[in-house]
Amino acid sequence: MVLAFPIVLYFFVPVYFNLGVTSVYQYLDMRFKSGFVRRLASGTYIFRSSLNLGVSLFTPCVALKTVLGLPYSLSIIGIASISIVLTIVGNLRSAITADVVQAVIMLGCSCVMIIHGLYEAEGPGNILRVNTRRHRLDFFNWNLDPTERLNTISALVGQMFMSVSIYGCQQNFVQRYCSMGSFKRVAQTLWANVPVMAALFSLNWLVGMV
């Protein structure tokens, strides 16, 4: 993911700024001179976002069902209603506040899981031994065999292309770039995001180890 940021910054963002577009779909219309392409891409994104929202909404319902025994239907209605009302009443500020609270909760829970895992495993030494025995610490496997499920090259290349498609082509990210006053501000934001994302992924990696 980190490798994708400079690619997006220096190859994608300048195109949007120089053309003065406000959306990816406007760029597609200009590039291919086709309203059909614009509508097709827009409809595809709406369909994909609808599926993603369904998964995002159902995931916490599974946790509520497991912990509190709440029925799925009640959880779905409750979470959706709270989200809609909070966004309508509080506008963008409430949405950003909710994102911050969610991030803090996720970081806190990750830290708790790491500490609990260290305690249950009786120290980091046992964790390292188990992960080494299961070959989960083999970071530098440069095998070019395309039939191998996962290696360093496939992970880097696959993650890079996926991240470029997300951060460089998805409308929800492009509209954020275009809403900033200058290319310099976009660059500052993306570069500041590099250590943050590295820290978050490292934390998730530690959770997976314990």
> pLDDT class for 2, splitting at 50, 70, 90?
confident
Q: Three-state SS across the chain?
A: CCCHHHHHHHHHHHHHHHHCCCCHHHHHHHHHCCHHHHHHHHHHHHHHHHHHHHHHHHHHHHHHHHHHCCCHHHHHHHHHHHHHHHHHHHHHHHHHHHHHHHHHHHHHHHHHHHHHHHHHCCCHHHHHHHHHHCCCCCCCCCCCCCCCCCCHHHHHHHHHHHHHHHHHHCHHHHHHHHHCCCHHHHHHHHHHHHHHHHHHHHHHHHHHHC
Tokens 């989200």, located at residue: 83
pLDDT score for 13: 92
Tell whether the model's pLDDT for residue 172 goes beyond 90: no
The residue-averaged pLDDT of 185-189 equals 91
Q: Is the separation of the CB atoms in 113 and 121 below 8 Å? A: no
pLDDT score for 209: 86
> pLDDT class for 44, splitting at 50, 70, 90?
very high
> pLDDT class for 38, splitting at 50, 70, 90?
very high
- Tell me the pLDDT tens digit for each residue of 14-32: 999 888 888 899 999 999 9
pTM, entire model = 0.77
The residue-averaged pLDDT of 89-96 equals 75
Provide the token pair at 89.
């009443």
Tokens 């963002």, located at residue: 13
Q: What phi-psi label fits residue 28: left (phi over 0), alpha (psi between -120 and 50 degrees) or beta?
A: alpha
- Tell me the pLDDT tens digit for each residue of 101-146: 888 888 888 899 899 888 888 888 888 888 888 877 777 888 888 7
Provide the token pair at 124.
């980091």
